[in-house]
Amino acid sequence: MASYIARRKFLATLLGGAAASCPLAARAQQPGKLPTIGFLGATTPSAQRQWTDAFVDRLRELGWIEGRNVAIEYRWAEGHPERAAAFVAAFGHLKINVIVTHASNLILAVKQATPVIPIVFAAASEPVGTGIVASLARPGGNVTGLSIQSNDTAGKKLGLLREVVPALRRLAIVANAATLSNVLEMNEVRAAAQMLGVEVAAHEIQRAEEIASAFEAFKGRVEALYMCPDPLFTNNRIRINTLAQGARLPTIYSFREYVEAGGLMSYGPNLPDLFRRAAEFTDKILHGAKPADLPVEQPTKFDLVVNLTTAKALGLELPPTLLARADEVIE
């Protein structure tokens, strides 16, 4: 009888220990305890849904399943890079393993806010020229990622406008004066325009409230519009395209999202592809790699996207040769 009672006590203790360990195991699988990515979007969830989905899809292909073996904390700057410090502070409290972000001003703000947490940028205009990294081959510090090299495509985009408006003599450039990469790109466009004998009217904008007045300033005085890429303009792309059509101005952008919103053309890197590649950087860092040891990569895929509906609204007959080269024609 004593032996039987002893066995019962032993089994009860064993089962009790197992039961007690179950909540601990469950807690160990909660998102706060998983390797955690801080995803800081420069605009809004809806504006960059395709990019975010591309990032998460590639993570899944690499074996990182959100909620199972990795957690993702999303934050959205909504075009306000000055919010970066508060977001990074929150990420610090959450013990984030790596921050993924994009857009030069926001990347710089995140870099300034933390010299410790690894940072992967999915898309940065001129990361060396803006001071994000020391060099493409050896980024140094805690930051690495993908460059969109926007300056390299400035002449190409101006050439596309010339195909649509062969008699182009006066061009408007709109840039965010607070974004160094925009200033650098604007200088490249000016240089390319000078070689082609095109006069440039530059308009620098820092707030959404200044967009309408900029269009009033060059309405009837220019024949086409070159928009530099910036989260401020992404957030206001529908309004910008409405104003451009009202002013009868053909537009050229860097990304297809602007053309989907009514712009005429875009030429530049494929952003979903860049965000997929950012997931590969993230995977390496979660496996122990250091950003300083991962060279910055450049785009491998560039897209020419044309909106035929906008062309018709502007009364433009797009050259067949241009349409034949387009990667996508929106009708």
CATH number at residue 187: 3.40.50.2300
Q: Does 12 reside within a domain?
A: no
Per-residue pLDDT band at 23 (split at 50, 70, 90):
very low
Asked if residue 228 and residue 119 are part of one domain, the reply reads no
Query: Average pLDDT, stretch 88-94?
Result: 95
37 DSSP β-pair partners = 72, 98
Query: Average pLDDT, stretch 90-97?
Result: 95
Give pTM, 2 decimals: 0.86
232-247: pLDDT as tens digits: 999 999 999 999 999 9
Asked if residue 196 and residue 61 are part of one domain, the reply reads no
Over the range 269-293, which residues count as b (16 or more CB within 10 Å of their CB) and which as e? bbbbbbbbbbbbbbbbbbeeeebbe
Question: Mean of the per-residue pLDDT values for the chain?
Answer: 90
CA–CA separation, 211 and 204 (whole Å): 9
Per-residue pLDDT band at 33 (split at 50, 70, 90):
confident
Query: Average pLDDT, stretch 88-97?
Result: 95
Asked if residue 188 and residue 320 are part of one domain, the reply reads yes
Asked if residue 78 and residue 209 are part of one domain, the reply reads no
- Domain ranges, residue 131: 31-148+271-299
131-159: pLDDT as tens digits: 999 999 999 999 999 999 777 899 999 99
Is the pLDDT assigned to residue 224 strictly greater than 90?
yes
For the chain, what is the domain count? 2
Radius of gyration for the alpha carbons in the chain, expressed in angstroms and rounded: 25
Per-residue pLDDT band at 25 (split at 50, 70, 90):
very low
